[in-house]
Amino acid sequence: MEPLMSDKPQGRAPAAPEVAFPSPGGGEQVQGSIADLFLAEESALLHFAIGIVGQRAVAEELVQEAFLRLHKVWDQVENPRGWLYRSLRNLALNHLRDRPREDELDTERASADQELPREELGRSEAVGTVRMLLAEMPEEDRTLIQLKYQEELKYQEISRRTGLSVGNVGFRLHHALRQLLDDLRKAGIEGSQG
Amino acid sequence: MNTNDTPSGENAPITPELEARVVAWVEGEASEAEASLLAQVAAERPEVAALKRRLEEARLLISRAVRPDGTPLRLSEGRREELMRALSAPAPRAEGPSLAAIRQKQRRERQVLLAAAACLTCGVFLTFLFRSENLSLKDGAKMEARAELLEARQSVSQEKEQVITYKRERLSEEAASPVAVSLPAMPADEAPEAEAPAPGSVAKSARILNTARSLAAAPAFDSGSLGVTARDLPAAAVSLSVAAPKVVSAESSIASFGEVSNPIPHTFGAYRSAPAAADAIGGAVLDKKASGTGGPAPFSAIVPEGGTYAANPTLAGTRLRSDLKDAGSSVNVVTAQFLQEAPPAAESNASKDPFSTFSLHVGDVSFKLAREALARGELPAPSAVRPEEFYNAFDYGDPTPAMAEKVSCRTEQAADPFAQQRNLLRIAMRVPATGRDGAQPLRLTVLVDTSGSMEREDRRVASRRAMEVLVSLLRSSDRITLIGFARTPRLLADQVPGDKAGAVLDTLARTPSEGGTNLEEAIRLAGELAGRQFLASAQNRVVLLTDGVTNLGDAVPAHLSLMVEALRQKGIAFDACGIGGDGIDDQVLEALTRKGSGRYYVVNSPEDADSGFAAQLAGALRPAAENVKVQVRFNPSRVGSYRLVGFDQHRLATEDFRDDAVAAAALAAGENAVALYEVEPLPQGEGELGEVFVRFRDATTGAVVERSWTLPYEPAAPALDRAAPSMQLAGAAALLAEKLQGGPRSESIRLGELAPVLASLRNHYSHAPRVQDLAAMYEQVRRIRRE
Residue A134 above 60 pLDDT? Answer: yes
Nearest chain B Cα to A63, which residue?
B75
Closest-approach residue (CA) in chain A for B516: A171
Q: What value does the mean pLDDT take over residues B347-364?
A: 90
CA-atom Rg of chain B in angstroms:
31
Q: What is the mean pLDDT of chain B?
A: 71
> Does residue B636 share a domain with residue B595?
no
Contacts with B199 from chain A: Cβ below 8 Å = 73, 76-78
Subunit contact A167:B59, Cβ cutoff 8 A: no
Higher pLDDT, A153 or B102: A153
Output phi, psi for B393, to 5 deg.
-85, 0
Residues B645 and B710 both lie in one domain: yes
Q: What is the mean pLDDT of the segment spanning B664-690?
A: 89
Contact call for A167 and B585, based on CB within 8 A: yes
> How many other C-beta atoms lie within 10 A of the C-beta of residue B300?
19
pLDDT band at B738 (very low <50, low <70, confident <90, very high): very high
Residues B407 and B458 in one domain: no
pLDDT at B620: 76
**Is the CB of B196 less than 8 angstroms away from the CB of A87?**
yes
Q: Which of B590, B621, B652 is the last residue of a domain?
A: B621
Report the 10 Å Cβ neighbour count for B42.
18
CA distance A80 to chain B (A): 8
Widest pairwise Cα distance in chain B:
96
* Interchain contact, A83 vs B260, CB within 8 Å: yes
Quick check: is B652 in a domain?
yes
Could you report the per-residue pLDDT of B461-495, keeping only the tens digit for each?
888 888 888 888 888 888 899 998 888 888 888 88
CB contact under 8 A, B336 and A164: yes
- Counting one residue from chain A and one from chain B, the pairs whose CB atoms sit within 8 A come to 271
In this structure, the answer to whether residues B268 and B385 fall within a common structural domain is no
Is the CB of B83 less than 8 angstroms away from the CB of A166?
A: no
Same domain flag for B572 and B589: yes
**Sign of the C-alpha dihedral computed for residues B253, B259, B265 and B271 taken in this order:** positive
Of the partner residues B176, B182, B587, the one whose CB lies closest to the CB of residue A52: B182
pLDDT higher than threshold 50 for residue B447: yes
User: For residue A163, which residues of chain B lie inside 8 Å, CB to CB?
Assistant: 336-339, 556, 558
Tell me, yes or no, whether B576 lies in a domain: yes
Mark whether B555 and B581 lie in a shared domain.
Answer: yes
- Looking at the predicted structure, is the pLDDT value of residue B124 above 90? no
Nearest-CA distance B199 → chain A (Å): 6
* A9-18, A111-120, B134-143, B627-636, range with the lowest pLDDT: A9-18
Chain B partners within 8 Å of A136 (Cβ) = 258-259, 328
| Residue numbers of A between 35 and 74 with CB closer than 8 Å to B | 35, 38, 42-44, 46-47, 50, 52, 60-61, 63-64, 67-69, 71-74
Domain housing B514 = 442-621
Task: Give the minimum alpha-carbon distance from B50 to chain A in angstroms, rounded to a whole number.
Answer: 11
The reply to whether residue A164 touches residue B343, judged by beta carbons under 8 angstroms, is no
Contact B23 A177 (CB under 8 A): yes
**DSSP state for residue B609 in the 8-state scheme:** I
> In terms of CA atoms, which chain B residue is nearest residue A171?
B551
Cα→Cα distances B350→A70, B360, B616, B632, B685, Å: 65, 21, 36, 11, 13
What one-character-per-residue DSSP string does A91-136 give?
HHHHHHHHS-GGGHHHHHHHHHHTT--HHHHHHHHHHHHHHHHHHH
pLDDT at B56 over 90: no
Lowest mean pLDDT among A51-60, B8-17, B387-396: B8-17
User: Does B329 map to a domain?
Assistant: no
Residue A30 has pLDDT above 70, yes or no: no
Are residues B637 and B593 both part of a single domain? no
- Give the helix ranges, DSSP H, for B45-76: 46-65
**Contact with chain B for residue A175, Cβ under 8 A:** yes
Looking at the structure, tell me whether residues B115 and B237 fall in a common domain: yes
Q: Centre a 10 Å sphere on the Cβ of residue B457 and count the other Cβ atoms it contains.
A: 8
Q: How far is A54 from chain B (nearest CA, A)?
A: 11
A-chain residues within 8 Å CB-CB of B67?
Answer: 23-24, 150
CA-nearest of B356, B236, B226 to B650 is B356
- Asked if the Cβ–Cβ distance from B86 to A71 is below 8 Å, we say yes
Which whole number is the average pLDDT over A29-49?
80
B693 and B764 housed in the same domain: yes
- Of chain B, the percentage scoring pLDDT greater than 90 comes to 17
CA distance A117 to chain B (A): 15
Give the pairing type, strands B623-634 and B665-668.
antiparallel
Q: Is residue B343 domain-resident?
A: no
B571 φ/ψ sector (left φ>0, alpha ψ -120 to 50, else beta): left
Q: What residue of A is the nearest CA neighbor of B322?
A: A175
B142 CB-near residues (< 8 Å, 6+ apart): B227
Q: Do B29 and A50 touch (CB under 8 A)?
A: no
Complete domains list, chain A, with CATH: 33-136 (no CATH), 138-194 (1.10.10)
Arithmetic mean of pLDDT, B292-317: 35
Q: Is A18 on the interface with B (CB under 8 A)?
A: yes
At B10 the pLDDT is 64
Min distance A90 CA to chain B CA atoms (Å):
5
The torsion defined by the Cα of B106, B110, B113 and B114, in degrees rounded to 10, comes to: -170
Write down which residue in B597, B621, B645 finishes a domain.
B621
B611: confidence class by pLDDT, cuts 50, 70, 90 = low
Q: What does the alpha-carbon distance between residue A51 and residue B728 come to, in Å, rounded to a whole number? A: 68
B550 falls within a domain: yes
Average pLDDT over every residue of A3-8: 38
Mean pLDDT, residues A14-25 taken together:
35
* More reliable by pLDDT, A45 or B96: A45
Please determine, for residue B552, whether its predicted confidence score (pLDDT) is greater than 60. Answer: yes
pLDDT at B55: 87
Average pLDDT of B353-364?
A: 91
Give how far the C-alpha of residue B179 lies from the chain's centroid of Cα atoms, to the nearest Å: 41
Region at A67 (left for phi over 0; alpha for psi -120 to 50; beta for the rest): alpha
Closest Cβ–Cβ partner in B75, B195, B333 for A91: B195
Using the 8-state DSSP alphabet, how is residue B656 labeled?
A: G
Average of per-residue pLDDT across B571-585: 81
State the average pLDDT over residues B751-770.
90
B691 φ, ψ (degrees, to nearest 5): -140, 145
**Domain assignment present for B212:** yes
Please tell me if residue A30 touches chain B, with a CB cutoff of 8 Å. Answer: no
* Partner residue facing B65 (CB), from A2, A130, A183: A130
Question: What is the identity of the amino acid at B133?
Answer: E
User: CA–CA separation, B485 vs B258, rounded Å?
Assistant: 37
Q: Which is nearest to B398 in space by CA: B121, B650, B667?
A: B667
Q: Do residues B722 and B642 both lie within one domain?
A: yes
With CA atoms as reference, the chain B residue closest to A71 would be: B91
Per-residue pLDDT for B287 more than 50?
Answer: no
The answer to the question of residue B91 being in a domain is no
Query: Which of B21, B190, B195 has the most A C-beta neighbours within 10 Å, making it the best mutation to test the interface with A?
Result: B195
- In sequence order, what are the residues at sequence separation of 6 or more whose Cβ sits closer than 8 angstroms to the Cβ of residue B298? B493, B496, B497, B500, B503
pLDDT reading at B297 higher than 70: no
pLDDT band at B736 (very low <50, low <70, confident <90, very high): very high
- Indicate yes or no: CB of A42 within 8 angstroms of CB of B73: yes
CA–CA distance from B139 to each of B143, B144, B308 (Å)? 8, 10, 22
Instruction: Return the pLDDT at B709.
Output: 92
Interface membership of A105 toward B (CB under 8 Å): no
* Cβ <8 Å between A186 and B172: yes
Residues of B in contact with A50 (CB under 8 A): 73
* Distance from C-alpha of B450 to C-alpha of B358, rounded to nearest angstrom: 36
Least Cα distance to A25 among A159, A124, A108 occurs for A124
In degrees and rounded to multiples of 5, residue B749 shows phi and psi of: -85, 115
For the ranges B114-128, B290-304, B528-542, the one whose mean pLDDT is highest: B528-542
Complex ipTM: 0.78
What pLDDT digit, counting tens, does each position of B317-342 carry?
333 333 333 333 333 333 233 333 44
For A168, the closest chain B residue by CA position comes to B551
B774 and B667 belong to one structural domain: yes
A24 vs B66: CB contact, 8 Å cut-off?
A: yes
Per cent of chain B over pLDDT 70 is: 64
Q: Per the domain annotation, does B162 fall within a domain?
A: yes
Final residue belonging to a domain, choices B575, B604, B621: B621
Q: Give how many domains chain B has, as a whole number.
A: 4
Task: Report the relative pairing of strands B408-415 and B639-645 from DSSP bridges.
Answer: unpaired
Q: Select the residue of A64, A71, A141 nearest B79 (Cβ to Cβ).
A: A64
User: Over 90: is that where the pLDDT of B249 sits?
Assistant: no
106-145 of A, contacting B, C-beta below 8 A: 123, 125-127, 130-131, 134, 136-138, 140-141, 143, 145
Shortest alpha-carbon distance between residue A113 and chain B (Å): 17
Of the candidates A98, A174, A188, the beta carbon closest to that of B20 is on: A174
Q: How many residues does chain A have?
A: 194
Asked if B338's CB is within 8 angstroms of A163's CB, the reply is yes
| Residue B17 phi, psi dihedral angles, 5° rounding | -60, -50
Distance CA B660, CA A92 (A): 71
State residue A78's pLDDT score: 81
Residue B551 sits in the same domain as residue B633: no
pLDDT at residue number B106: 63
What b/e sequence results for B46-79 when a residue is b if at least 16 CB atoms lie within 10 Å of its CB, and e otherwise? ebbbbbbebbebbbbbbbbbbbbbeeebebeeee
